[in-house]
Amino acid sequence: MPAHAHTWNSAHRLAVAGGSLLLAGALLHASPAHPSEPAHAPAHATAPETEAHAPATSAPTHATKDQAPAAELSGKTAPAVHGPLSLEQDAAQIALKVQAAMSLAKTRERAQAHVAAASQGKRPHATANSGHGQPSTDISAGTAHQAALQGHAEAHWSYTETGTGPDAWAQLKPEFGACAAGQRQSPVHIQEGSTLQGPAEPLVFDYQPSGGSVVNNGHTIQVDLEGNNTLTVRGSTYQLLQFHFHHPAEEKVDHKGFAMVAHLVHKNAEGQLAVVAVLIDPGAANDLVNKVWTHMPLDVKDRVRLPAALIDMKGLLPQDPRYYQFMGSLTTPPCTEGVLWMVMKQPMTVSREQLKLFSQLFPMNARPTQALNGRVVREAL
């Protein structure tokens, strides 16, 4: 066989093989990703899926270029042969077009895969922040003291560190803005000379021995309670979620400070929070506090389960039922307002040993008092 004929046959076979691959690529490009889906389905994707369409925006340009070889293989006359050199060039061009068609098909598949994933809701999600006064066991309600127990990109805040202390809370996250701009913030300094004195409805506590767990959330020791423990006030019933401690007490009364305070956090069916503050001074040991300290976790985010019915909250309530009442906020970021506060007038006591144990873990975890800004403080007589 002459050399030029052998070259012509090789080029011819290459052209036919390349054309076959081109036809396959064109068919793949023309057919939908799934038999049950129309070819134009991605065009109906919602706005959040716009990014998934980005790789496919160049598809029309490539499709126009690649349709000509496919049409030639489907019935048009093959181009004239001008010699071995022309055939080699034609084969090379066809091979390049086949490669382009295959690349286009892969791009289309990737774009359709992105669209399919987006339509199934596979998108990044943000976790909610946690907040003072809400149980760390319930993500929907948040966690007390913004404890960063969730994996969200939490802003680090503190009580004493420069740049993250109370004066800087509002600058750490936009959601913390109320810590600086709020007009009904807690805690407050109660001065009896300016309170609204008179009769006040009794606080109806219905506390039962309960179990739960103790957690060190990095800002305090908190007890998340189980069972049905309620407070009824102002015509609404609130469920006790948790209680925790501050050292020293955040509240002041007539310029007097207190060694500690326990905050008993309740929530009603409408989602409103009601906090009962029990002031604490050094004195006789408290049996309930002793039970909590016995199960106190030592590491941040560590949690210890409590025996069933161990905690009877009546052991943390003073005998004197009188209280101060005002509207305030969470005392930790995000400093959300609209919280009903009741500060019991009679302090409870803990031993100096009990006080020392807590203070070794939390030497200072109290927010400074905030301006009343004209708020009324009711004092029950």
Listed in sequence order, the DSSP H helices in the chain are: 3-30, 50-53, 59-73, 84-119, 169-172, 178-181, 287-294, 352-361
* Given 132, 145, 219, 244, the catalytic residue: 219
Is 219 noted as a catalytic residue in this protein? yes
Its sign, for the CA torsion 160, 161, 167, 169, is negative
Bridge partner list, 281? 349
Phi, psi of 319 (to 5 degrees): -70, -35
Half-sphere exposure at residue 229, Cβ-oriented, CA atoms within 13 angstroms: 22
Q: What is the dihedral of CA 234, 237, 239, 243, to 10 degrees?
A: 20
Residue 14 to residue 66: CA distance in whole angstroms: 18
Residue 105 to residue 109: CA distance in whole angstroms: 6
Q: Please give the structure tokens belonging to residue 47.
A: 């706005």
Residue 238 to residue 119: CA distance in whole angstroms: 41
Rg (CA), the chain: 36
Phi, psi of 216 (to 5 degrees): -95, 105
Q: Is 114 left (phi over 0), alpha (psi -120 to 50) or beta?
A: alpha
Phi, psi of 137 (to 5 degrees): -90, -5
Residues in the chain: 381
* Catalytic residue positions, numbered: 219
